[in-house]
């Protein structure tokens, strides 16, 4: 948490006006409907965009695991959401790189109860801005053929693990990726994921 904001001001900035959250929600729906597409939300000074976006979808009826201790209490106070362990949470929020082990601990629901699958809001460092970006090929609903998405700041193995976790659709995990500048992309559990492996010697 930035030291230039008081605790109260941090909570106020996380808990934005309903019209702001609704605008972000519409953009999120857009990227979920077209996997691989990148949109952008408005940023808030002093608050990571991944926290801002996740807060707009959290309320007293949502269980949340905020994996960063410094943001957990402000997030829960601002939204009224209920704290949960990562293995039981409906929403998971992290400003750090999501790991394979963390992904493996998330609930996925099942064929009869797909709504029990987790939605993850994960920070990335960018989308194709780094020389070592991970390139994903996404196919399935929302894509006419295939779409490519370059992601910075997350290990390629994470997306291999996500593909396995989502193999039993409609059970699975929905992943929302959020960059520091407010750009967002989504990988719904309905998407088929392939990781483009770098050519040897490249």
Tens-digit pLDDT profile for residues 73-84: 999 999 999 999
Mean pLDDT computed over 96-105: 98
Specify the pLDDT at position 145. Answer: 83
**Gyration radius of the chain over CA positions:** 16
Specify the pLDDT at position 194. Answer: 96
Q: What is the mean pLDDT of the chain?
A: 94
pLDDT at 120 over 80: yes
Rounded distance between C-alpha atoms, residue 36 and residue 173, angstroms: 16
Specify the pLDDT at position 4. Answer: 76
Can you spell out the DSSP letters for the chain? --TTS-HHHHHHHHS--HHHHHHHHHHHHHHHHSTT--EE---BTTB-HHHHHHHHT--TT-EEEE--HHHHHHHHHHH-PEE--TTT-SEEEESS---HHHHHTS----SS-GGGS-EEEEE-SBSS-STTPEEEEEESTT-SSEEEEEEBSS-HHHHHHHHHHTTTTTSS-EEEEE-TTSEEEEE-TTSEEEEPPPPTT-
Specify the pLDDT at position 142. Answer: 87
Specify the pLDDT at position 199. Answer: 59
Rounded distance between C-alpha atoms, residue 138 and residue 36, angstroms: 7
- Predicted model pTM: 0.93
Mean pLDDT computed over 95-109: 97
- Looking at the domain that runs over 7-184, which CATH code has it been given? 3.40.50.11310
pLDDT at 198 over 70: no
**Residue 112: band (very low, low, confident or very high) from pLDDT cuts 50, 70, 90:** very high
pLDDT at 59 over 60: yes
Place of tokens 């979808």: 57
**Residue 200: band (very low, low, confident or very high) from pLDDT cuts 50, 70, 90:** low
Vertex 124: Cα angle to 7 and 58 (nearest 5)? 50
Establish how many alpha carbons lie within 13 A of residue 25's alpha carbon, considering only the half-sphere containing its beta carbon. Answer: 11
pLDDT at 109 over 60: yes
**Residue 144: band (very low, low, confident or very high) from pLDDT cuts 50, 70, 90:** confident
pLDDT at 141 over 90: no
**Residue 1: band (very low, low, confident or very high) from pLDDT cuts 50, 70, 90:** low
């Amino acid at each position: 948490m930035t030291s230039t904001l008081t605790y109260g001001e941090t909570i106020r900035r996380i808990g934005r006006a309903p019209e702001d959250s609704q605008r972000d929600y519409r953009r999120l729906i857009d990227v979920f409907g077209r996997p691989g597409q990148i949109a952008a939300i408005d940023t808030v000074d002093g608050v990571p965009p991944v926290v801002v976006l996740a807060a707009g979808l959290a309320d007293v009826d949502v269980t949340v695991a905020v994996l960063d201790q410094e943001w957990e209490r402000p997030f829960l106070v601002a939204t009224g959401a209920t704290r949960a362990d990562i293995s039981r949470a409906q929403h998971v929020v992290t400003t750090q790189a999501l790991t394979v082990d963390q992904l493996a601990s998330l609930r996925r629901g099942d064929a009869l109860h797909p709504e029990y699958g987790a939605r993850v809001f994960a920070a990335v460092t960018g989308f194709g801005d780094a020389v070592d970006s991970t390139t994903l090929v996404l196919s399935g609903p929302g894509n006419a053929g295939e779409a490519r998405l370059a992601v910075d700041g997350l290990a390629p193995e994470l997306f291999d693990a996500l593909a396995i976790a989502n193999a039993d659709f409609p059970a699975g995990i929905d992943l929302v990726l959020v960059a520091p500048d407010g750009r967002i992309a989504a990988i719904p559990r309905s998407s088929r994921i392939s990781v483009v492996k770098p050519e040897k010697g490249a």
